[in-house]
Copies of this chain bind each other. A is one copy, B any other.
Amino acid sequence: MTDPTAAWAALMRVHATLVPALDRELQRTHGLPLTWYDVLAELDEAPHRRLTMGDLGDVAMVSRSRVSRVVDELVDAGLVTKESNPADGRSAYAVVTTQGRRRLRQARPSYLAAVERGFTANLSIREAETVARALGKVLAAGGPDD
């Protein structure tokens, strides 16, 4: 209980058990790998539903280099298009297509339900808020430490 790393250990275990379950769920019900869902969700809530590859790599949970490949796959699937940035010839925007948004809207309930079943349902409101706030602080400080 008083083990200072208990919280961290529990976090790793929760992640290890829940992420594969979520991935399977999404893939089974909607044919969407968790990575795709994550990228689509990030793009969907971005200013003009678009993000440069670099920004996408920063905000999503995949490395900068992996973003190129995932976006390529999404383009092949018709869920995303790539547009060039007229102001910067190097930069490339990834933009969600209407089909991509539709797939995202269809998949979101499953995702939320799975998170609810495997995570939120086991927490009280206060606990969920505390966890979110605490981990938010970790993230805010997470930049320089490592």
Q: Which chain B residues border A8 with CB–CB below 8 Å?
A: 115, 119-120
A70 at the interface (CB under 8 A from B): no
Report whether A18 and B142 are in contact in the complex, using a CB–CB cutoff of 8 Å.
yes
C-alpha spacing A145/B116, complex, angstroms? 10
Report whether A14 and B139 are in contact in the complex, using a CB–CB cutoff of 8 Å.
yes
Residue of B nearest to A142 (CB): B17
Interface bin, chain A: 35 or more
Minimum CB–CB distance from A88 to chain B (whole Å) comes to: 27
Residue of B nearest to A124 (CB): B134
Report whether B127 and A11 are in contact in the complex, using a CB–CB cutoff of 8 Å.
no
Residue of B nearest to A38 (CB): B12
Report whether B146 and A122 are in contact in the complex, using a CB–CB cutoff of 8 Å.
no
A87 at the interface (CB under 8 A from B): no
A130-B134 CB under 8 A given contacts A4-B120, A7-B120, A117-B145: yes
Minimum CB–CB distance from A131 to chain B (whole Å) comes to: 4
Tell me which residues from 62 to 119 in chain A have a Cβ below 8 Å from any Cβ of chain B. 112, 114-119
Interface residues of A (CB under 8 A from B): 1, 3-8, 10-21, 24-25, 61, 112, 114-123, 127-142, 145-146
10 chain-A/chain-B pairs, Cβ below 8 angstroms: A6-B136, A8-B120, A13-B61, A15-B15, A17-B139, A117-B145, A117-B146, A122-B138, A123-B137, A131-B134
